[in-house]
Amino acid sequence: MELLNPSPPPQQIGGHFAGLIAPVSSYFSLNNFDQRAFMAITPPPRRRDIVQVSGASSYGDDDKVYVVVVNSIDMTVALLHWTFRQFRNREICLVHVYQPSATIPTLLGKLPANQANQESLAVYREEERQRNSKLISNYLGICNRSKVKASTITIEATNLHKGIVELITRHGIKTLVMETMRDNCAKVKKSHAAKKAPPFCDIWFVSQGKLLWTREATENAVNFMPTMIRSPKASLTDATSSFATGRCRDGIIRQDEIEPLSASGSVARNTLNFNNVTATSGYTPIEIRGLSGVDSDAEEEMLCKKLIEATTEAEKAKDEAFAELLERRRLESESAETMNKVKRFEAACTDEVQLRNQIEDEISSIREEKEKLLVQKEEVSEELQRTMKNVAVLSNRVQEANTRQVEATRELRLIQASLATLRVEKKKVQRQRDGAVRRVDQWKSRGLVGPSNYDEFFLLTDSEELTELSLSDLETATCNFSESFKIGQGQYGCVYKGELLDRSVAIKKLYPFKIRGRLEFQQEVHVLSKLEHPHLVTLIGACPEALSLVYEYIPNGSIQDHLFSKNSKHLLPWKTRTRIAAEIASSLFYLHSSKPEKIVHCNLKPENIMLDSEFHCKVGDYGIWWLVPEDTARCPSFGRSAEPKSALPYRDPEMQTSGHVTTKSDIYSFGVIILQLVTGKPPVGLVSEVRRAVLCGRMVSILDQSAGEWPTYIARRLVELGLHCCEMNSRDRPELTPTLIKELERLPLAEDRPIPSFFVCPIRQEIMHDPHVAADGFTYEGEAMRGWLKNGRDTSPMTNLKLSHLHLTPNHALQLAIRDWLCQS
């Protein structure tokens, strides 16, 4: 041993002896540390985890920002852009923790890595590393495109946060940016990286491109090597190995890549070990040299034991010193954190005091505003009371003034009406006088003056309501029957609009060649003037000279305009259509009930059914048939040649063949109009189409949807009535009775009243029209029950039990009860 060859003691220079190596503690100073010399005296390091470093700088670089990148490209790209904005003009180091997969994919599924063979595992691990290399290359490309200088560090670890903590410790990282999946600061503070990372590192936790929390550094970086921080009992050889590893750049450091040390390196290492002993054992170099002169083996053995004991004591002292150093730094960190908390608490208290003062000031100002508002409220209340009193007085005065105005208006209207009546009476008397004078002159010239002609003479003068007009009056009202005043043209004449007797009127000028003589015309007009019904167009006057009838003008058009015109402004809902059908039936019943002779309309069609401002119908053109000569009316070619083709579908087939006109002719036309109101379709072929749809059970498909959602019972009742009225044989058509009219009038109201449960068919869930009793004792709609049995069912729809027979019995009593309920007011 070299220790047994003593030499003269060296001279002491600067606290140590010349000729000897500097104390071991000097090798731990980072300021005087020479790694190349240290590598020369350091044995090969033991095998460590593989760390890949690309472009990394020395330990504890202050200007470099370390960014933790992960496999999620979206998260990493957002994190990099945030880092570029936050740390401008600073170098970036991409930190990637490679986490080997716990399983590997196989043909049989995923297999745990510890159960797979080494070849498959090695191949899969190599694929993982290649994917990670490509991923990091992409991230470096992003940095290059953003003109940011970047390098990379990769470490293999099973846990992300533990690997990050190890990298911070090993490389002395002072600024680290990492993405976190946690959504609040409390969870982030509990993470492993936030709690276990060294206190000299600032960690910026970012979530979705926004800074969530920053763990600030509480002390400067330690001035010793990372391996010593990780293991206090690490040997000098391990420390120097760590320094050598930390100095390597742009490569993967492995033990087999380190060249064997030379013999001079071994000598230097032995010398270093010797100096380590002299520095830590307490013996001076002179004493050791003195001991080297002992020749006895016992003394040599004793010297070795003392040397070993000194070495052991030095190791213990070093461990205790290191532990005390760590404890002191921990206490300093806690003290700094406590001071920060105290400062934050004092700042919070100051803010709270300021906030409290502000709130008190605001409360005082609000109270002042409240007092002002209360004063203003009292003033406004007093003003409101005075105003209300004035309003009450003014309201009374206004009511009195309105009452006086109404009375004055009423008196004025009475006076105006009286004046108008007097003017009309004056004109009427004047016309009657002039007509009487002319007729007396004519009869005198013919020698026909006698008592037998007085009745005929006063046919028109007996009517107080009908006004006889002259041809000049009609020409003035229509501008000589101008085409611009024509509003319609029919089988018997043209209709003009004009202004007569201070009102709008419709003037129907009949064709002279289709009308009987003037005397017969006057007689028929006298009869028609006696007809009064709310749903008949009112006959105002007549002009025997022009063979013209003057009716009231209905401004809302006809049913034809609303059902088939594309420019109709008002759609007719189903309730209005049902009410119109009832009103038409009421007017026809009035005409058919007239005495001494029944009046047949004989020209009933949608064009002749007008609608007033409230959409109530008024039937027009009634009685014109009786003004036609009998021989002309009975001629089959008269109707076909004179009437438009659109009116033929409304004609009674029997009347077209035989020429006989009866009340059943109007019933047929009424049935076609009902079907049009329900379906909204043209009349040609409508009866056959509706009959087929009912037989096939497709009645709902033919309903006019523009009228809204039709109630099934109401639509079915109208369709059945329309088909009943359109029977080919007139004897099969129904008569218009008050009961039927009342039922039609109550149909729109049936939906607004609660329906008795025993009126509803259990199958269709609607009011029954033709109730039948089945074998189970329950009553069903006849058509619905027959359809039930026709489908092969022989069980009860209510009890699901087998029926004893399949016969159905009409329930007339229930049918009458349903009709009475529908007819009730």
State the binding site.
Answer: 514
SS3 669: helix
Considering all CA atoms of the chain, what is the largest pairwise distance in Å, rounded to the nearest integer? 196
- Residue of 557, 563, 561 whose CA lies nearest to 577: 563
CB 759 within 8 A of CB 589: no
Residue 646 contacts by C-beta under 8 Å, 6 or more apart in sequence? 605, 683
The amino acid at 729: N
Cα 817 from chain centroid (whole Å): 49
C-alpha–C-alpha distance, residues 704 and 766, integer Å: 20
> Is residue 84 classed as helix, strand or coil in its secondary structure?
helix
The SS3 of residue 193 is helix
Segments of 726-825 assigned E as strands: 771-773, 779-781, 809-810
Cα angle 189-192-198, degrees, rounded to a multiple of 5: 90
Amino acid letter for position 150: A
637-644: Cβ within 8 A, 24+ apart:
639/491, 642/491, 642/492, 642/514, 643/491, 644/491
- Sign, CA torsion 33/34/40/43: positive
- Whether the CB-CB separation of 589 and 738 falls below 8 Å is answered with yes
State how far the Cα of 669 lies from the Cα of 682, in Å rounded to an integer. 13
End-to-end CA distance of the chain: 135
Phi, psi of 811 (to 5 degrees): -105, 85
The residues with which 153 forms a beta bridge, in sequence order, are: 53, 95
Neighbours of 165 (CB within 10 A): 20
Give the whole-angstrom CA distance, residue 815 versus residue 718.
Answer: 16
Are 572 and 615 a contacting pair, CB within 8 Å?
yes
DSSP bridge pairs for 204: 177, 214
Eight-class DSSP state of 63: S
Are the C-beta atoms of residues 278 and 285 closer than 8 Å to each other? yes
Only one residue has tokens 């040390």, namely 261
Which is nearest to 475 in space by CA: 499, 491, 492? 499
- Other Cβ atoms closer than 10 A to 106: 11
Kindly tell me the sign of the dihedral angle through the C-alpha atoms of 32, 34, 39, 40: negative
Query: At how many degrees (to 10) do helices 663-679 and 574-592 cross?
Result: 180
**Closest among 512, 514, 483, 719 to 625, alpha carbons compared:** 514
Task: List the binding residues for ATP.
Answer: 514
Residues in the chain: 825
